[in-house]
Chain A
Amino acid sequence: MNAETEATADARRMMEICNACRYCESYCAVFPAMTMRRDFSLGDITHLANLCHGCKGCYHACQYAPPHAFGVNIPQVFAEVRQESYAAHAWPEGAGRLFEKNGTLVTAVAVFGATLAMLLSVLLVDPSVLTSAQRGPGAFFRVVPHWLMILLGLGTFGWAILAMVMGGIRYWRATGASASQPGPYAAAVAAHDIATLRNLGGGGHGCNDVDDSFSMQKRLFHQALFGGFMLCFAATCVGTIYHYFFGWKSPHAFLSLPVQLGFWGGLFMCVGAIGLTRIKIITDPVPVARRLLGGEFAILGLLFLIAATGLLLLALRHTGAMGMMLALHLGLVFSFFLLMPYSKMVHGVYRGLSLLRHAAEKKKA
């Protein structure tokens, strides 16, 4: 459980103002969830903070926003509380420290991972194979052996899943979410909210992504990034099925299913990462937790690089540059998997759980 901090105390003070005001009751799920309560335990504050999608609608509509003495700034304080909850529930115990200077960590691990992968290929792979054009089935595995690729991929991805599931369980128990007892209906509502990013729609007209004007930018770019990521994941799965069940070895033709999934996925990821980064740069800086921007920019940068190196690999796969591109791409991907439980990426787990809890509480009410 995260501890009482300056941020949680301030968040509670603000929620008590909001609960007396309630002008924002028709914005996102945070406010209906707030009105179900009169007192805010630490678990409640953590739940509400993770329910917040950072759309900033409430800030721009707030009669008590800074420089008012009350200084109500929900997007900013909730971002701080979220980060504290990521650290508090990180698994294994003690790993929460990795959320301090997260931008530096993410950047360092990614650079180290990519460099290591390229160094190892130079050292271990026959130079004539590494730098000459490789064609035909199994071309990639002449640079990185198939067993090694699978071992590293499953190892890092498995670690990410394990650590994030453990974090999710710790979060669910510590914040008192189990009392909400979600059933299949709540799960369906939460899944719908996650898939559509309903809470970034502002009820239909969009959110205050940049200033007090309404837009759907953040929602669309997030959908592009998330959708692109899932397409790339699907590409990997399809490729694996091809390999094991049909014996069709990569590289596959450009118009084949796995390459098409990966191509469009990579494009969407690039567009999403660039769009979200741009919003973060040009947005009104007040409803933003500036301290956390480093980690956010770093993970967006890493996602962009993964997608971009994947696309480059596709473009250059029949040339002598393929070997190094493959090493670079895989180095970044495996670094990303290792970093996932200790980066902004965990927001998906905790927000998903908060949406589930909210759907269950709403059904009960």
Chain B
Amino acid sequence: MPDFDKLWDVLVVGGGNAALCAAITARRAGASVIVAEHAPKHMRGGNSRHTRNVRSLHPAPTDVLTESYLEDEYWDDLLRVTKGRTDEHLARTCIRASQYAPEFLQSCGVVFQPSLSGTLSLSRTNAFFLGGGKALVNAVYRTAESLGVELLYDCEVQHIHMEGGHATEAIVNHKGFPQRIRFKAVIAASGGFQANRDWLRKYWGDAADNFQIRGTPYAQGKILKDLLAQGIQEVGDPTQFHAVANDARAPMEDGGLAMRLDCVPFSVVVNENVERFYDEGEDTWPKRYAIWGRLIAQQPNQRAFAISDVKAINDYLPSVFPPIRADTIGELAQKLGLDVAKLEAVVADYNAAVRPGTFNGQKLDDCSTEGLTPPKSHWARRIDTPPFHAHPLRPGITFTFLSVKVNDRARVVMADGTLASNLLACGEIMSGNILGQGYLAGFGMAIGTSFGRIAGEEAAKTVLN
């Protein structure tokens, strides 16, 4: 049994990458550290279990990244997806620190793949974990354990008691038993609230029932809510999240990455009313995949259907669930439960609007529509060769952006603008400081690793001085 009488230097709430980066950093600095992970061991790691890479600044090629990716380009990419809804100082802090993220993770036993040109062509900007996020999670836990970090599974932190700007103790439920953990400093790294449907419902109403939670079901936002209720400054739009186009047949929770569908740029996408609602070929998929979750979330019953024909089938990664196939558009509409005449009309109008061009699925090609609203700007080919294919889509939510406000040392800011004396935050629970909307692939892990390390350093400094 863990020692619940001990006064720990640092309590880390949560067990994902940000939490473990913080725990390892604080422990290496000499602090005694206890980690409270809500999930059982096999589900440990929060959303990090489903991640794949970290977006990392690098002035020159490294063993795991090609060419270079400099601060200004990284910042421009972030500015574009957030449309300016970010905090430049915190964002640049994260971007600069991301340069050292791969090296730090390697020091924690994480192995990176040799850089390769994957399907999302991210090898220049993102370093890929060999085996993905669960392999990373295994490595950081093993490192934490070997450093003597106390790791508690099945341990939900339910309340962090705040007195003024000072955190005094944590009330936890450890394997069904109420306990308290005393500490000198506490790091909140317990994620967003995306798996809490009742909370999502406040902003989305019944639509929340149709959101698939891509990652951990343990992201209930309990500590986020608890802190915001105790005079800590809130930041971020509660309706904003990172979301993608998922297969409608995916599990409602923990379906992970393989549920996402990459077919959108090579399809036309209609909603339940058989209306197209957005330019499917606006830009390359890595730059657009993160807007489609939200787009579908805004459709009736949060459903959409990507329609294509046999020509497109090899242009995107295979799906876990096979596409629905039919020999005519009418038959396909029937199978999907859509209005037959409407779907035939939508496809016919689209086909008529397709201009001749040379198809190239790997880059922005010249295959576009003319006189169609909304247009399809690239990869527009006639849908005319049976069998016709459809992939049913739902929004897949990765994480919410509503956050506790932090400064550039990961210190939590109180509502009155003062700093909490011994409370820090890292990971999704503070992601909204930087992400006002939109998403960049691998940026969640960049925030988690960068601010995890900062929080660990800062916590150790606080308690050891």
Binding site for B on A (CB under 8 A): 16-17, 19-27, 38, 57-58, 60-65, 67-69, 203, 205, 212-214
Interface residues of chain A: helix, strand, loop or mixed (majority): loop
Contact indicator B134/A61 (Cβ below 8 Å): yes
B309-349 contacts to A (CB < 8 Å): 313-314, 317-320
* Contact A23:B318 (CB < 8 A) given known A57-B131, A63-B50: no
If A20-B319, A24-B132, A26-B114 touch, whether A64 touches B256 (CB-CB below 8 Å) is yes
With both beta carbons as reference points, the residue of chain B lying nearest to A69 in the complex is identified as: B251
Question: Which residue in chain B gives the minimum CB-CB distance to A60?
Answer: B138
A26-B113, A212-B142, A213-B142 as given contacts; A20 in contact with B131, CB under 8 Å? no
B contact patch SS: loop
Extra contacts, 5 of them, besides A20-B318, A22-B118, A25-B118 (Cβ < 8 A), are: A22-B317, A26-B116, A62-B134, A64-B258, A214-B111
Contact of B258 among A21, A57, A58 (CB under 8 A): A21
- Once the chains bind, are A20 and B132 in contact (CB under 8 Å)? no
Q: Is the CB of A63 within 8 A of B251?
A: no
Asked if A61 and B42 sit within 8 Å, CB to CB, the answer is no
Given B133, B134, B256, B257, which contacts A60 in the complex, CB threshold below 8 Å?
Answer: B134
The reply to whether the CB of B303 lies closer than 8 angstroms to some CB of chain A is no
User: Does chain A have a CB within 8 A of B130?
Assistant: yes
9 pairs from A and B in contact (CB 8 Å cutoff): A16-B318, A19-B317, A21-B256, A23-B257, A25-B116, A63-B132, A63-B134, A65-B134, A212-B135
Query: Assuming A60-B138, A63-B49, is B258 touching A24 (CB within 8 A)?
Result: no
Tell me how far the C-beta of B324 lies from the nearest C-beta in chain A, rounded to whole angstroms: 16
B contact set with A: CB distance below 8 Å? 42, 49-50, 52, 111, 113-114, 116, 118-119, 128, 130-135, 138, 142, 251, 254, 256-258, 313-314, 317-320
Cα-based distance from A21 to B134 in the complex (angstroms): 13
Look across to chain A and name the residue whose beta carbon is closest to the beta carbon of B138.
Answer: A212
Q: Is the CB–CB distance between B318 and A38 below 8 Å?
A: yes
Contacts of B130 in A (CB 8 A): 26-27, 61, 203
When the two chains form their complex, are residues A61 and B138 in contact, meaning their CB atoms are under 8 A apart? Answer: yes
User: How many Å lie between the Cα of A65 and that of B314 in the bound state?
Assistant: 27
Whether A63 pairs with B114 at a CB distance below 8 angstroms is no
Residues of B within 8 A of A57 (CB): 131
> Would B142 and A23 count as touching, CB distance under 8 A?
no
Report chain A residues within 8 Å CB of B116: 25-26
Q: A15: nearest residue on chain B (CB-CB)?
A: B318
Chain B residues contacting A16 (CB-CB under 8 Å) are 318, 320
Q: Is the CB of B52 within 8 A of A23?
A: yes
B52 to chain A: closest residue by CB: A23
Chain A residues within 8 Å of B319, by CB: 20
Query: Which residues of chain B have C-beta atoms less than 8 A from A64's C-beta?
Result: 256, 258
The residue in A20, A38, A58 that gathers the most chain B C-beta atoms within 10 A of its C-beta is A20
| Residues of B close to A214: CB separation below 8 A | 111
A212 to B143, CA, bound (A): 12
Cβ–Cβ contact A68 & B318, under 8 A: no
- Please determine whether A63 and B320 come into contact, CB atoms closer than 8 angstroms: no
Q: Is the CB of B318 within 8 A of A19?
A: yes
A residues near B42, Cβ cutoff 8 Å: 65, 67
Chain B nearest Cβ from A198, distance in angstroms: 15
Q: How far is the CB of B142 from chain A (nearest CB, A)?
A: 6
Closest to B113 in A: A26
CA gap between A101 and B377 in the complex, in Å: 62
What is the chain B residue whose CB lies nearest that of A23? Answer: B132
Instruction: Decide: A21 and B135 in contact? CB cutoff 8 A.
Output: no
Q: Distance (Å) between the CB of A365 and the closest chain B CB? A: 14
Contacts of B111 in A (CB 8 A): 203, 205, 214
